[in-house]
Copies of this chain bind each other. A is one copy, B any other.
Amino acid sequence: MPVGTLGSVKGVSQDVLEDLGVEILLGNTYHLFLRPGVETVRRMGGLHRFMSWDRAILTDSGGFQVFSLNDLRKVTEDGVAFRSHLDGSPHFLGPEKAMEIQIGLGADIVMAFDECTEYPADAERARASMELTLRWAARCKNYFREHKCEVPWAVDAAELRSAGRTNASAPTRASAMSGSGALPRLDGAEPRHHTDANQALFGIVQGGMDAALRRESALRTIDIGFPGYAIGGLSVGEPRELTRDIVLSTLEHLPSDQPRYLMGVGTPEEIAQYAQAGVDMMDCVLPTRAARHGLLFTSEGKVSIKQARYAQDESPLDPACECRVCLRYSRAYLRHLYASNELLAQVLNTVHNLHFYLATMRAVRAWIRASDAAG
């Protein structure tokens, strides 16, 4: 899942994302809560309609950003008081609030509010944090059950029906969305979903770097019961091998017939390994953030396009790649754009890295199908 922090994958327009074959985007609740605010997104019909994106969206709970972007946070049983990283204004997020916000944003998949246990954490601290996340998970589920019908598209549909609005009163928007097409949108008459559709709430496994705690967290989260489960609290500074051990041992305890989502991972090699190990979903800022810093993933390894060695290199960035960047531009041009601080560098680099990640996942899916056929 490419990361679209603020309702936009930085520098890439939605039609290009569709062309790239992106099927699901991640939006960050923390960032959208601060800008433009959930009330704005709700009034605009939800995040899909606000950003003109028909395909799937997942929003995280905001927990990770509250913990990683706020040194002055205060954690209580009810949630986390914190200050905006933008203007220092005081805010509060807890299980109920995180659900309320995510219902207002209206993504297809929403995440329980968890405490991301810091690394390192001693045994007592890791258990206490895990127990808090479990209590919050139950509260999230309860709030979600009672309020899930309040998604903006449901409200829209009811309002529209009672008001009898037609296309005539809405802005004309011949869909520019070449890749999707199926669902009429933004025309004011047909909301994206039926009123009886709602979101899927996933639970999150914590437990620090302790395999036994992870097992307990997984089993007790399953006891609460969710349609999908995430492995959280990783990529927080621990060694890569430890991440791998925890992921693999936790995966064993999660039902293989429900989505298993590994949060915040990883390199192309890692996403291939984890997908082959049974992870169904991953998100990471790496392809997009690295692209903006000139670090590009290719079939021949990483390329730091800022290097002078590429200044007169006429070959494509990745000769094996069929993305629109590699088909059209040379390393020399990409190097020039980056060295000259041209906006287009960030745009093209991001398109390539996203393509590389998506192609990696396509290859993994083909591998899985072949394995299934052989097995």
Contacts and interface: CB of A to CB of B under 8 A. Distances in A.
B12 A171 contact: no
A199 interface: no
A40 B336 contact: yes
B176 A316 contact: no
A339 B329 CA distance: 32
A311 B10 contact: no
A205 interface: no
Nearest to A344: B8
Interface stretch (A44-52, A59-67, A123-131): A44-52
B176 A324 contact: yes
User: For the side of the interface on A, what is the size category?
Assistant: 35 or more
A366 interface: no
Given A11-B347, A13-B347, A342-B10, A312 B44 contact: yes
Chain A interface helix/strand/loop/mixed: loop
A247 interface: no
Nearest to A52: B328
A339 B36 contact: yes
Interface in A41-85: 43-45, 50-52
Nearest to A339: B35
A14 B328 contact: yes
Contact of A50 (B14, B45, B172, B330): B330
Interface in A313-360: 314-316, 319, 322, 324, 327-330, 332-333, 336-337, 339-340, 342-344, 346-348
A177 interface: yes
Contacts of A50: 330, 332-333, 336
Given A171-B316, A316-B173, A343-B10, A36 B327 contact: no
A374 interface: no
Given A8-B337, A171-B315, A315-B171, A348 B44 contact: no
Interface string A1-35: 00000111111111100000000000000000001
Nearest to A11: B343
Contact of A332 (B9, B40, B333): B40
A163 interface: no
A174 interface: yes
23 contacts: A6-B342, A7-B333, A8-B337, A8-B343, A10-B344, A13-B347, A13-B348, A35-B339, A35-B340, A36-B311, A36-B339, A40-B311, A40-B336, A44-B332, A44-B333, A50-B332, A52-B333, A171-B314, A171-B315, A176-B327, A186-B330, A343-B343, A343-B347
